[in-house]
Amino acid sequence: MSTPTTRPDPVDRVLRTVENAAAAVGLAGVVVTVVLIVTDVALRYLLGAPLSWSVGFVGDYALVGLFFLGLSYTVREGAHVRIDLVHKRLGPGGRRGLAVAGSLLTAAFLALVGWGGYLLTAGAVRYGDIPLAGASELSWPVWTSAVMVPVGAGLAVVRALHTLVLDLRSPAPAAPAAPLTTTAEEIA
């Protein structure tokens, strides 16, 4: 007797590929940040000639990319902040309700963040925004950094909506990832 196989979800497969690529770019920002900071410190103290642009690059690109390009991956993996104290005490219907509400609220919030990022990016493109002279070491157009906000938030909205559809189709919501606390550490 063979075990039933589930059909692969083509939307999930494509979404995972895009999420993994975006998260890899965001993670590269961490590597670049570490290399730049070490190099900057070494140049500053050994030669008295720091990299004048490294702080701007880290703040405007590497950290923004790390957060927003890794956002959908974080939603997919359930690595966001969650309080599972209530979730564990509910029955299947309550858990499903929380899962659906959580996916809806996540999608709505991230859609607002993405829309704000889109408006910022579109305005920066339209008006040719660049940092004021002397205000930043990098005079790159503002949109080159701002575009990561709507891209990352938009991808996370798609993930949250995909999760919502799966939760609505499923008789019971998927079990959450392993709790961060043990039962002994919970507040009763």
> CA dihedral defined by 153, 155, 157, 163, rounded to 10 degrees?
-140
Chain-centroid distance, C-alpha 115: 15
Q: Please tell me the predicted confidence (pLDDT) of residue 116.
A: 96
pLDDT(170) > 90 = no
**Distance in angstroms (rounded) separating the CA atoms of residues 51 and 37:** 9
**Distance in angstroms (rounded) separating the CA atoms of residues 61 and 25:** 11
**Distance in angstroms (rounded) separating the CA atoms of residues 141 and 160:** 31
State pLDDT tens for residues 38-84. 999 999 999 988 888 888 888 889 999 999 999 999 988 877 766 67
Q: What angle do CA 121, 163, 112 make, to 5 degrees?
A: 25
State pLDDT tens for residues 110-168. 999 999 999 999 999 998 888 766 656 778 888 999 999 999 999 999 999 999 998 88
What single-letter amino acid sits at 172?
Answer: A
Nearest to 136 by CA among 67, 66, 52, 22: 52
